[in-house]
Amino acid sequence: MRATETLDTRARRAFLLVLLIAFLWLNASEVFRYFAFVMPMTRDAMSGVQDVAPMNLTVFMIWGLWDTLLFAVVCIIAWLFHEKFGGGTLNAIAAGTLLWLTVFCVFWLAVWNMNLTVTRVPLIALPLAWIEMVVVVAILQRAWPHLQSMSRG
């Protein structure tokens, strides 16, 4: 029984470590994309709008909520995709692309359609978001075997 507990503990730790790495990647890439491209481009394009793309506590709290919800959705969809179709590079690309289409493309299409951004912003942001999604799914693929070994015990 002791050996099973040790395996279960190792699997749990490995699973949580992979989740942490994926969460850090997602947050770092979101922050990089926003501060390096989206915020300055939005401020430049909409300089006539007062306080466009502000940085304050409320914005950071909402951003924290966005990243948390995004991570939860990504984990669930990536896990479901892995359960149905398996792992591997092509499936990571497919799952990442599916997530990218449903989250980021819909978001930027809506923002652009409402004339709340200029075309060049999503043209920069969308390819970076695609890379973000594919990489996070590829990272998460390392978590699922640990989850399966925990559920066997």
Pairwise CA distance, residues 148 & 68, whole Å = 24
Classify burial at 86, counting beta carbons within 10 Å of its beta carbon; exposed 0-12, middle 13-18, buried 19 or more: exposed
Please tell me the predicted confidence (pLDDT) of residue 144: 84
pTM for the full model? 0.90
- Enter the tokens of residue 119: 């075309």
The answer to whether 42 and 111 have CB atoms below 8 angstroms apart is no
Of residues 65 and 8, more confidence is placed in 65
- Number of separate domains in the chain: 1
Across 19-23, average pLDDT:
96
Domain that holds residue 73: 2-152
Across 52-76, average pLDDT:
94
Q: Measuring CA to CA, which residue among 96, 84, 88, 85 is closest to residue 137?
A: 96
Position 73, amino acid: V
